Amino acid sequence: MGKILKINQQIKSFSKKITIEGDKSLSIRWALLSSQAKGISRSYNLLRSEDVLSTLKCLKTLGIKVKLRKNYCEIKSKGLNKFNYRKNITLNAGNSGTLGRLIMGLLIHSNKKIKIIGDKSLSKRDFLRVTEPLEKMGANFKTSKGRLPIKIQGTNIPKPINYIENKGSAQCKSSIMLAALNTKGVTSIKAKKSRNHTELLYKYLNIPIKIKKKKNFDLIKVHGVTEIKTLNYKIPSDISSCAFFITLTILSKKSKILIKNVNLNPTRTGFLKIIKLMGIKTIVKNKRNYKGEIIGDLQIKSHNTIKPINCPTTLNSASIDEFLLIFLIAAKAKGVSYFKNLSELNEKESPRLKWGSKILNKIGIKTETTKHSIKIFGNPELKVTKEIEIKKFLKDHRVFMASVIASITFGGPMWYIHDRDSINTSFPSFLKKISEFGVKIN
């Protein structure tokens, strides 16, 4: 399979019912928490992406028994802080910020030095947001100016702390929460609102946690424990992955789609709220609660008229992974859309705010950008008349997939999209799913 994807086909009308792979955030959190549970935990519909496989490999290196079967994954552990590993091991987080940051919290009690590395993209990302609070809890770090590679050595007596998390980083918050399990006392986190999968899993597992929800932040208190119960879990579909096919439907003509068993956690559905403000209606069917998470089936149809939006910043954290797609939808709106306070987008696998603007400019949409904002001058009549090449985006999977959606909805003589293997980090079956819509993948 070549690394450059060539597309010169605009998608035709469709009516589809699909199922998307398991949620990446939940897949990684299930694995990390199961590594601390005494006994055997089993998951179904685990996402089999490079990020999740990197997580399982790291746990094996730490002495955890992992069985990956065709229909399920099984993790066997002796309990909290029962890692069994040799000296001077190296854990490779690959492309995964979730893995790289969260696993540091689990290592707060480690008495041997451990080196954590990642790929070129992950090695450019900020880890001070995690090392600073964990140092307050007693861990020692040697970093490369706050970036990977990082060496960590834990402490025999992790200390509970009071910490203010003001970036809206669920990874930072979750890392502290994982470290808090090993303390004798209560760790308090005043956290800017972000996805809450870790909190919901703690509640389901009866880990002592108290949450007070305020307007702009959550006050979270976690008490240390001596044991965690096992977790059997059927992982719902990832809303971030579903968003690509929702966008595909919105931007296509006379089309509709039904996506089954989608995770509709309110901290993750900012995308659906934003497109609703743009005049796009989503119908939720078969809505239910599963171990704290809200699950449902999503139905959506194509839209001929899209409203421009002055996007409320309160929706940013709940849609941070979907903004490249939101920008594509805004490109078809009749008028100017404005998005601000998005500096966190540039802390992802690539500077996504920059790439969102670049893709739109390539297809003929005018933008005005700053370090944290973008104005998009929509054009409902846009026609792409030149060849387009997308490359050197640090193998960011979301840049690649958003470019594919743009190519088959906006059209054009030919698109050359590099690094097709980037999808393996989060959505390995993406191109296979796209081909099911009648698109030829070369």
Pair (55, 71) in one structural domain: yes
Domain annotation covers residue 175:
yes
Of 224, 189, 199, the C-alpha closest to 81 is: 224
Residue 325: which pLDDT band, with cuts at 50, 70 and 90?
A: very high
Residue ending a domain, among 234, 250, 266, is 234
By the 10 Å C-beta count (0-12 exposed, 13-18 middle, 19+ buried), 391 is classed as exposed
Cα 442 to Cα 440: distance, rounded to the nearest angstrom: 6
The pLDDT of residue 195 is above 60: yes
Same domain, 94 and 167: yes
Q: Could you tell me if 116 and 100 are in contact, meaning their C-beta atoms sit under 8 angstroms apart? A: yes
Residue 1 confidence (pLDDT): 40
**pLDDT over 60 at 123, yes or no:** yes
| Run of H or E residues at 89 | strand 89-92
What residues contact 237, with CB distance under 8 A and at least 6 apart?
19, 20, 21, 22, 23, 45, 259, 260, 261, 262, 263
* Domain end marker among 234, 256, 283: 234
Q: Could you tell me if 126 and 269 lie in one domain? A: no
Residues 125 and 351: beta-carbon distance below 8 Å: no
**Structure token pair of residue 372:** 């944290």
Using a pLDDT cut of 70, give the percent of the chain over it. Answer: 100
Q: Length of the chain, please?
A: 442
The Cα–Cα gap between 294 and 296 comes to 7
> How many of the other CB atoms lie within 10 Å of CB of 129?
19
Q: What gap in Å lies between CA 368 and CA 376, rounded to an integer?
A: 7
Contact 174, 105 (CB under 8 A): yes
Q: Is residue 116 part of a domain?
A: yes
Q: Which residue has the tokens 């579903």?
A: 242
Q: Provide φ and ψ at 88, rounded to 5°.
A: 55, 40
Catalytic residues: 321
17 neighbors 260 (Cβ within 8 angstroms): yes
90 and 125, same domain (yes or no):
yes
Selection from 86, 81, 29 nearest residue 61 by Cα: 86
Phi, psi of 166 (to 5 degrees): -115, 10
Number of domains in the chain: 2
Between CA 301 and CA 16 the distance in angstroms is 11
Q: Is residue 440 one of the residues assigned to a domain?
A: no
Relative orientation angle of helices 239-250 and 270-277, to the nearest 10 degrees? 20
Question: What is the sign, positive or negative, of the torsion defined by CA atoms of 151, 156, 158, 159?
Answer: negative
Evaluate whether residue 441 is within a structural domain: no
368 and 389 inside one domain:
yes
Report whether pLDDT(260) > 60: yes
**Do both 65 and 179 map to the same domain?**
yes
CB-side exposure of 248: number of CA atoms within 13 Å?
32
Q: For residues 388 and 362, give the distance between their C-alpha atoms in angstroms, rounded to a whole number.
A: 7
Domain assignment present for 431: yes
pLDDT in tens, 375-398: 999 999 999 999 999 999 989 999
Shared domain for 216 and 280, answered yes or no, is: no
The reply to whether 224 falls in a domain is yes
Residue listed under structure tokens 């999740």: 52
Tell me the one-letter amino acid at 167: K
pLDDT score for 303: 87
d(CA 214, CA 191): 10
3-state secondary structure of 156: coil
For 42-97, the pLDDT digits (tens) are: 999 999 999 999 999 999 999 999 999 999 999 999 999 999 999 999 999 999 99
Inform me whether the pLDDT recorded for 432 exceeds 90: yes
> What six digits make up the tokens of 300?
């959506």
Give a three-class secondary structure readout of 376-440. Answer: EECCCCCCCCCCEEECCCCCCHHHHHHHHHHHHHHCCCCEEECCHHHHHHCCCCHHHHHHCCCCC
Report the CATH number that the domain containing residue 319 is assigned in CATH: 3.65.10.10
Regarding whether 201 and 282 lie in a shared domain, the answer is no
pTM: 0.92
Residues 177, 304 within the same domain: no
Q: Is 219 within a domain?
A: yes
What whole-number distance in Å separates Cα of residue 176 and Cα of residue 52? 20
Residues 203 and 215 in one domain: yes
Looking at the structure, do residues 266 and 322 belong to the same domain, yes or no? yes
Looking at 234, 267, 297, the residue that finishes a domain is 234
Q: Which of 341, 300, 309 is nearest to 327 (CA)?
A: 309
Which of the four pLDDT bands, split at 50, 70 and 90, describes residue 125? very high
**Domain-located, residue 405:** yes
Type of residue at 163:
Y
pLDDT reading at 423 higher than 50: yes
Distance in angstroms (rounded) separating the CA atoms of residues 353 and 368: 11
105 and 229 in a single domain? The answer is yes
For residue 284, what are the domain limits? 5-22+236-435
